[in-house]
Amino acid sequence: MASALISRSSRRFLKPCSSSVSLYPAIFNPVISSQQSASQNPSQNPPFKLPQLQSFNFEFRKTTGSLSSFHLVAHVSTWPSKENKNHQSGGNVSSSWVELYLPRKVQPYARLARLDKPIGTWLLLWPCMCRVLGASSLLLVFSYPLMKRFTFWPQAFLGLTFNWGALLGWAAIKGSLDPSIVLPLYASGVFWTLVYDTIYAHQDKEDDLKVGVKSTALRFGDSTKEWITGFGIACLGGLAVSGFNAEIGWPYYASLAVASGHLGWQIWTVDLSSRADCNRKFVSNKWFGAIIFGGILAGRLSS
């Protein structure tokens, strides 16, 4: 009788609310199971008497009548637990930051989102960290084309964009970031980009002046070779530090010596007034990258 009475009241007051259907088993299971146990053992007193059942039905109508589907979920999900009851009754239970700092009206939603117990968020975040890191590079990709309008250092911004893979690759393989390895590697890539793209920019410096865009070639002018020499030294230094911290074997450092010779050759022999020669030196950087890559493989195999 109790289950039938409550079922009729639920159909009357909850029929328009489709999302509340999922709550039916959770709400009515205790009542149904109690009814079955009482009928199976009539010697025991039933846990629900008629006045109590009517009171429960009235409270149920009042609650569901005043709450929408979402509010009902929030209401049920944030019923006070035993710990909260102990806290309200003076028990020595610590409160979370939700109860301490958020307004009372916001607290049910914060608890529904599990903001007071964010372990699920952390467990989801760490496996996806490399994807978050990869997605963040889109900010650099989208904004790079505008840099020539605002700064003489678009080549530096290109370096930040092109070499993002140094961070992303490590995070994808290791599942974390080791700053002592990835930051020197990333910085060395940025300095390398400043070398080859400054040489490349000297091909277009006349056109850049006509259209009003900026570049490091225009910024450095006749001092370009001194600047890119400094960038080359910083690049090789970063590669050395990164390899040392990663404990790569001696063939890697042999490849750094060969790569430094190649970088020095292109810097000191490039004719910055010749488009053809600037293009040849720019294209030769594929061999610089191949030398470093081969040194990493050989050094890793020997270590």
In SS3 terms, 49-75 reads as CHHHHHHHHHHHHHHHHHCCHHHHHHH
HSE (side-chain half, CA atoms, 13 Å) at 149: 4
Average pLDDT for 92-116:
79
Whether this prediction's pTM lies above 0.85 is answered by no
Q: What is the pLDDT of residues 190-242, one digit of tens each?
A: 999 999 999 999 999 988 898 889 999 999 999 999 999 999 999 999 999 99
Amino acid 12: pLDDT: 45
Q: In the structure, what pLDDT confidence band is assigned to residue 14 with cuts at 50, 70 and 90? A: very low
pLDDT of 92 strictly over 90: no
Q: How far apart are CA 27 and CA 291, in angstroms?
A: 69
Annotate 139-171 with b (16+ C-beta within 10 A) or e (fewer): ebeeeeeebbeeebbbbbbbbebbbbebbbebb
Q: What is the pLDDT of residues 47-72, one digit of tens each?
A: 445 444 445 444 444 444 444 444 44
Amino acid 136: pLDDT: 75
DSSP assignment letter at 96: P
Report whether 28 contacts 2 (CB < 8 A).
no
Q: How far apart are CA 218 and CA 202, in angstroms?
A: 8
Q: What is the pLDDT of residues 126-175, one digit of tens each?
A: 666 666 677 777 788 788 878 888 999 999 999 998 898 888 888 888 87
Amino acid 141: pLDDT: 79
Other residues' Cβ atoms within 10 Å of the Cβ of residue 227: 17
Q: How far apart are CA 201 and CA 221, in angstroms?
A: 11
Average pLDDT for 262-283:
95
Amino acid 126: pLDDT: 61
Average pLDDT for 1-30:
42
Q: How far apart are CA 8 and CA 13, in angstroms?
A: 9
Average pLDDT for 257-276:
95
